[in-house]
Amino acid sequence: MPHYHTLGTIPHKRHTQFRKPDGTLYSEQLFSTEGFNSDSSLLYHCHPPTKIIKTEAQYSVAPKIAEEKMLRHRSFEGFKVKPAADYLESRKPILVNNDCHISLAAPQQSMTDYFYKNADADELLFVHEGSGKLLTQYGELQFAYGDYLIIPRGSIYQLQFDNDNNRLFIVESFSPIRFPKRYLSNYGQLLENSPYCERDIRAPEHLVTIDQTGDFIIKTKKRGMMYHIHYGHHPFDVIGWDGCCYPFAFSIHDFEPITGRVHQPPPVHQTFDAHNFVVCSFVPRLYDYHLQSIPAPYNHSNIDSDELLYYVDGDFMSRKNVTRGMLTLHPGGIPHGPHPGAVEKSIGAKETKELAVMVDTFHPLQLTVDALDIENEGYVMSWAE
C-alpha cells in the first residue's frame, strides 16, 4: 500500500551478488504478505534470517469467547483495562470475528528482551496515550498521541516507550490493511479528493544495522498459538532495503475532514480498508452549513454491519456520558442513532471537537471474557431516558 521507499545500501540490480567488505555475500530476503503477486520489499541481511538455534513449547493466546451471538447495544470502559508491564501481556482482546480482532492494551515497559511477530494479521496500533519508537528491520518510526501504526503481518518489531503511561487501541486484520480504492488513481497515487496524501504518510527512517550473534527470541503468533523461536543473529541486521511493503505511520490529526451543507454519511470518514471491515477517523470539523441543517447524525439501520466506536477525546453531541477510551458497539440488525435530546441540542452548533476511531465490520463481532469485565451495564436502555 505505501509507495516505493528505500533506506541503507542496496545493489544496483535485485537478485544479484551483493558482497560485504570481506567478500562474503549479504543475504537477500523478499518480504511480502501476499506471495509474489502484490507489494513486496527486498531486505539485505548480514546473515541469513533463517538460523534457528532453539524453540520452546507453544501455548494458546486465543481469545476466550463469552458471547458468540447477540443483538443489543453495548458499551465498554476501555480505560478500565489495567496496565501491565509487558506489552504482549497487556493486550486484551475485546471483540473478535474471523476478519479482525480488536484489543486494548496499556503496556508500561518497552520490549527489551524479545521481539514480536504476528504471522497471521496486519496490525493497526492507534496510540491514545504515550509516545516512543517502533523499531523494525526497516528502521525506526517515531510515534505519539493520535498516530496510527500500520505493521504488515510477519514484520518483526519492538516497541520502545518514553514512559510507563501508554494506551493503545489495536486492530488485527487477517487481510491486508489498505487505502480505500476510491482515494487512489489507477497507478496508486492518492487523489486530490482523498482526506490525506503521501506527505502525511511517514515511512521508517534511521536504519541501524545491528550485526550481532547470540540468542534472540522472536515471539511469533500463529493461529492463536504463541511460539518462542530463538535465532542466532539479531533480526535487525539489515544493511539496506527497498520496496513497497513496510510499516508506516499516519496521524489522525492529519486527516482532513470532508464536510457539506447537510450531514455527511460515515464513509466520508473512512481512513483504511480491509476485507469485510473498514476503519474511520472522526476528527474536529465544521458542522453542516445549510440554514436548516441538523448536525446530529440521523438514525440508521445498521442491517449489514456492526459499528464499533472508540472515543478518544473531545465532546460527542450524539451520546451522553461519554468518557475517554469508551467503546460503543451497535450490532447489525437493529437501528441506532442519537441519544434523546441530542438532535435538538445540536441545531445551531457550528463545529465539533470530537476525536474517535470507528471500525465497521460486515460480519458480526463476538464478545470476549475481557470485554464483559469492562462493560457498562444498561447501555441498551439509555435511549429510553
The radius of gyration of the chain's CA atoms, rounded to the nearest angstrom, is 22
Q: How is residue 289 written as a grid cell? A: 452549513
Q: Residue 334: helix, strand or coil by DSSP?
A: coil
d(CA 185, CA 189): 5
d(CA 73, CA 96): 16
306 annotated as belonging to a binding site for a ligand: yes
* Residue pair 222/119 in contact by the 8 Å Cβ criterion: yes
Closest alpha carbon to 205 in 47, 32, 5: 5
Place of cell 455527511: 264
Q: What is the CB neighbour count within 10 angstroms for residue 78?
A: 21
* DSSP annotation of 375: B
Residues of 19-34 as b/e, b for ≥16 C-beta within 10 angstroms?
Answer: eeeeeeebbbbebbbe
Pick the catalytic residue from 253, 263, 275, 363. 263
Closest alpha carbon to 300 in 274, 271, 352, 263: 263
Place of cell 470502559: 77
Q: Residue 188: helix, strand or coil by DSSP?
A: coil
Q: Residue 40: helix, strand or coil by DSSP?
A: strand
d(CA 90, CA 129): 14
* Residue pair 247/318 in contact by the 8 Å Cβ criterion: no
Residues whose CB falls within 8 Å of the CB of residue 352, separated by 6 or more in sequence, listed in order: 284, 285, 287, 295, 314, 315, 316, 317
Q: Is 263 a catalytic residue?
A: yes
300 annotated as belonging to a binding site for a ligand: yes
Q: How is residue 310 written as a grid cell? A: 472508540
* Residue pair 383/339 in contact by the 8 Å Cβ criterion: yes
Q: How is residue 81 written as a grid cell? A: 483495562
d(CA 372, CA 308): 15
d(CA 325, CA 63): 21
Which residues are known catalytic residues? 263
Binding residue positions: 300, 306, 336
Binding residue positions for homogentisate: 336
